[in-house]
Amino acid sequence: MAKYLMLQGVASNVGKSLLAAGLCRLFHQEGYKVAPFKAWNMALNSYMTPTGEIGRSQGIQAEAAGVLPTADMNPLLIKPTGAGESQVVVQGRVREDLKLGEPLAEAAMPIVQESLERLSREYELIIMEGAGSPVEINLRHRDVANMGTALMVQAPVMLVADIDRGGALAALVGTMRLFRPKERALVGGFILNKFRGDAEILQPALTILEERGGRPVLGVVPYRHDLLIDEEDSLGLERISRGPGAINIGVFCLPYMSNYTDFTSLAREEGVAVHYIDRKEDLSPFDALIIPDTENLREGLEFLETQGYRAQMALLIQAGMPTIGIGSGFIMLGQGNLGLLPLQIESCSPGQARAVRVQVAAKEGWLGRISGSQVQGYLVHEARTEGAARAFTLDGEPEGIQLGSILGTSLHGLFEDGRLRRAFINYLRERKNLPPLTGPILQGGQLRQEAYDRLAEQLRESLDIPAILDLVERSGRG
């Protein structure tokens, strides 16, 4: 049976997901057969596995661990679709019969236990990640994501705080005091993440933290902004949005935006800056615009309308601005919505989200440069239209359109494909009379592998690895 190690945070966005990815790579390098696990995840960025849809971070962590991701690594994925509304994905599949609230809370633990038991039979070590804060005491009776799972398998817990945002020491001590005795007993130490200051100045505070918190500090991890490893929380957009660059791509930051990690691979390209547009601004400085997918098409349209982007985009598209709509963003381009395409674009359900392989059918424009190529992606929201120049062919049927400077598609993950990504970037560079990029073309997964190695190296330098290994060996003891 597997050993366990769990990361819990004093709040959301303290960096648990990246730390877990780094630990997955580190233990993989040490020869362990490692799997990530997050029992309950509320996120709009997903990752497609052979057995269904999971949170993006668990897919990335599986990549870092060098294993094939499966739906058991995130058995409960909650995707918000509107105020008080969510889609529930159970072990990779949408479950229309389950809603947020007590019915889901009652069903959750057996589902989590089933997935964790399957992983435990296959892997030597499971790196577990909590969600939010583990001491939301009003919700303790329905806790699954944090101590509920840790107690089930007696997993040692490392408690993580983001020191960059302030209040980290108080949050760690306060969290320890709010734990019940049996929960507190599982905590093996503290990690202070995203540190930018002088370590000597910090040292007295660490001594006090260990005295007041009753646990050792297992490490202080420096702030890194250059890894560009996908995150599932939109709070992580601050690490990706940057610039200016030689090529500047604007992505509309829509309400309930999903799968914004479609564009992280673009941000890794030389001279490319990806900007997430969350307020009214002039669009003319951008070299391309992208309308991403969203779980709430109505509120996405409302955002674009109230910020005055419909009129701006219409003028820019007439002038040849390359524009891409993905998923719900594709639907928004059509008549009855933004009206930027002279076509009716209808939404249709793809059933369960699934991975697909398509052939590039476009003959003209930047996509036509790789016509006939095979590209892998995945479908979440599907849209169709008739009588337009197809962009791709899927199972012999047209998928998406390319019309003038506009590409519309339902496919996510396209820019993971190195040839497609390079064709798009070099097209934008040519429009600005810049020489084409000629360096090695890498797939998105290959681009992330170097980042995983650098992250693992940083954790070796920052964390007390022997103490963490000792925690691993103690796991499962009641």
pLDDT digits over 430-468, tens only?
A: 999 999 998 888 777 777 888 899 999 999 999 999 999
CA distance 412 to 420: 13
Q: 412-449 burial, b for 16+ CB within 10 Å, e for fewer?
A: bbbbbbbebbbbbbbbbbebeeeeebeeeebebeebbe
Residue 217's H or E segment, with its range, is strand 217-222
Q: Is residue 281 part of a domain?
A: yes
Handedness of CA 193, 196, 199, 203 (dihedral sign): negative
In the predicted model, is pLDDT for residue 367 greater than 90? yes
Structure tokens at 179: 């734990």
pLDDT band at 239 (very low <50, low <70, confident <90, very high): very low
In total, how many domains does the chain have?
2
Q: Give pLDDT, residue 259.
A: 82
Cα 225 vs. chain centroid, distance in angstroms?
16
- Domain of 366: which CATH number? 3.40.50.880
Torsion of CA 184, 186, 187, 188, to 10 degrees: 140
Q: One-letter amino acid identity for 352?
A: Q
Do 248 and 371 share a domain, yes or no?
Answer: yes
Could you tell me if residue 466 is inside a domain?
no
State residue 445's pLDDT score.
76
Asked if 115 contacts 91 with a C-beta cutoff of 8 angstroms, the reply is yes
Binned at pLDDT 50, 70 and 90, residue 235 comes out as very low
pLDDT band at 346 (very low <50, low <70, confident <90, very high): confident
Domain edge (last residue) among 228, 252, 283: 228
Model pLDDT, residue 447: 75
* In a domain? residue 46: yes
State the distance between the two ends of the chain, measured CA to CA, in whole angstroms. Answer: 15
Check whether 231 has a pLDDT greater than 80. no
Q: Is residue 458 part of a domain?
A: no
Percent of the chain at pLDDT > 70 equals 93
183 and 42 inside one domain: yes
Q: Confidence band (pLDDT; 50, 70, 90) for 478? A: low
- Strand, helix or coil at 237? helix
In which region does residue 320 sit, left (phi positive, over 0), alpha (psi from -120 to 50) or beta (all else)?
left
pLDDT tier at 360, thresholds 50, 70, 90:
very high
Domain shared by 261 and 130, yes or no: no
Residue 232 in this model has a pLDDT that exceeds 60: no
Per-residue tokens: 198: 């002088």
Residue 144 lies in a domain: yes
**Contacts of residue 343, Cβ cutoff 8 Å, sequence gap at least 6:** 334, 335, 385, 386, 387, 388, 401, 403
- The more confidently predicted of residues 346 and 359 is 359
Say yes or no: 182 and 254 in one domain. no
Nearest CA to 412 among 322, 290, 318, 320? 290
Q: Which of 176, 200, 228 finishes a domain? A: 228
pLDDT of residue 342: 85
| Torsions phi, psi for 71 (to 5 deg) | -65, -20
Shared domain check, 223 and 267: no
Average pLDDT over residues 82-94: 83
**Domain contains 316:** yes
Residue pair 60/448 in contact (Cβ under 8 Å)? The answer is: yes
Q: Which two tokens stand for residue 113?
A: 């236990």
CB atoms within 10 A of CB 346: 13
Are 275 and 168 members of one domain?
Answer: no
Task: Judge if 340 and 382 occupy the same domain.
Answer: yes
Residue 271 is assigned to a structural domain of this protein: yes
250 pLDDT more than 50: yes
pLDDT above 80: residue 69:
yes
Of 81-90, 225-234, 247-256, the one with minimum mean pLDDT is: 225-234
Judged by phi (left if over 0) then psi (alpha if -120 to 50, else beta), residue 271 lies in left
Looking at residue 284, its pLDDT comes to: 95
Residues 204 and 347 in one domain: no
| pLDDT number for residue 477 | 61
- Maximum CA extent, the chain: 71
d(CA 382, CA 350): 6
Q: Which two tokens stand for residue 290?
A: 């992208």
pLDDT per residue as tens digits for the range 144-154: 899 999 999 99
Q: What is the mean pLDDT of the chain?
A: 89
CATH number at residue 49: 3.40.50.300
User: Do 358 and 305 share a structural domain?
Assistant: yes
- Listed in sequence order, the residues at least 6 apart from 39 whose beta carbon sits closer than 8 Å to its beta carbon are 74, 75, 76, 108, 112, 115, 116, 128, 131, 144, 145, 148, 149
Range scoring the smallest mean pLDDT among 153-167, 341-355, 456-470: 341-355
Asked if 69 and 55 touch (Cβ cutoff 8 Å), the reply is no
Domain's final residue, options 163, 193, 228 = 228
| Same domain, residue pair 216 and 92 | yes
Q: Pick the residue with more confidence: 261 or 436? A: 436
On the question of pLDDT at 102 being above 70, the answer is no
What is the arithmetic mean of pLDDT over 313-326? 95
Does the structure show a pLDDT above 60 at 243?
no
The answer on pLDDT for 244 being more than 70 is no
3-state secondary structure 166-191: CCHHHHHHHHHHHCCHHHHCCEEEEE
Neighbours of 229 (CB within 10 A): 24
What is the average per-residue pLDDT within 43-68?
Answer: 91
- Segments forming the whole domain that contains residue 373: 243-440
Say if residue 268 is in the same domain as residue 305.
yes
Other CB atoms within 10 Å distance of the CB of residue 164: 15
- CB-CB contact of 274 with 263 (8 Å): yes
> What residue type is assigned to position 354 of the chain?
R
pLDDT for residue 242 is more than 70: no
Q: What percent of the chain has pLDDT over 90?
A: 64
Is residue 375 in a domain?
yes
96, burial (CB in 10 Å: exposed 0-12, middle 13-18, buried 19+):
exposed
pTM score:
0.84
Q: Are 260 and 214 members of one domain?
A: no
